[in-house]
Structure 1
């Protein structure tokens, strides 16, 4: 069983493999995203946080997911275009990913086991669930979809 996020390689939205070890010694916020969700405007806060803290060793990683209400119907290039045009997103977006079920990414299985949800639940309940990772690659917190990015800033500040 992996012990840090650094043990995973994940495909970026252009299909290129990205080693998460490239984020060693950075604080990382991992988010399962969707373009047609009530929480989609959180892209604004995620991008603002990315810009505010990136020079201090912080990165947001977006993982589009279509498992909740079919709210991410587009392909990877359409998702990237949507995020760029509507929210000026320039943090890394990965390939559309299953976060629950039999086809769930092993990476998300790891995140869920490291930071279970309410009452120990392992499954992700909706889009924009967030996982905060410290500079050692350890998952230290999980945030509900309704938790706004700006409400996480204090926790990020402590780790930077």
Structure 2
């Protein structure tokens, strides 16, 4: 909904090790963008996200994890702690990115873009909690937004449809 021609793929992000990139390497893939946290009631969803990633990555699905500490300080760790937790506890292999704000004055431009393209319940823009999921088609269009109570496996039909 931006007035500029910026596409999802042009938005600058940083990998978990703080390397600046854009989402260009993921052009042509189906994306599931999730704000994640290691001390949240939904943290167990890492397991389901990793299962989806392993099942569908060869068909073009990429899950992008963006740690966020905005909800009751449920992601207090630094990059190394987050990476270690994800690897050791859930064997996460999908791409993880630097910690971001998903709401407010320091909101990351990626989340401004995602929220502008897909509103939440009752048309709200704000992210209500960790593990909110945005499903993006192969051309960069946000096609669905699901709240934290939607378990990863509940997205299977939508993912299969987008993968073709």
TM-score strictly above 0.5: yes
Q: 1:4 Cα deviation (Å)?
A: 3.4
Q: 1:17 Cα deviation (Å)?
A: 1.4
Residue 4 of structure 1 is matched in structure 2 by 7
CA deviation vs aligned residue, 1:20-62 (integer Å, no higher than 9, x gap): 0111110000000000000000000000000000000110000
What RMSD over aligned residues (CA atoms) do the two structures have, in Å?
A: 0.9
Count of residues in correspondence between the two structures = 160
Residue 54 of structure 1 is matched in structure 2 by 57
* TM-score under structure 2 length normalisation: 0.95
2:149 partner SS: coil
Tell me if structure 2 keeps the 8 A contact 1:4–1:139.
no
CA deviation vs aligned residue, 1:101-130 (integer Å, no higher than 9, x gap): 000001101100100101110000000000
Q: Which runs of 5+ in 2 are unaligned?
A: none
Matches within 5 A, 1:69-148: 69-148=72-151
Q: Whole-Å Cα distance in 1 between the matches of residues 30 and 7 of structure 2?
A: 12
* TM-score under structure 1 length normalisation: 0.98
2:57 partner SS: helix
Residue 40 of structure 1 is matched in structure 2 by 43
Q: 1:3 Cα deviation (Å)?
A: 5.6
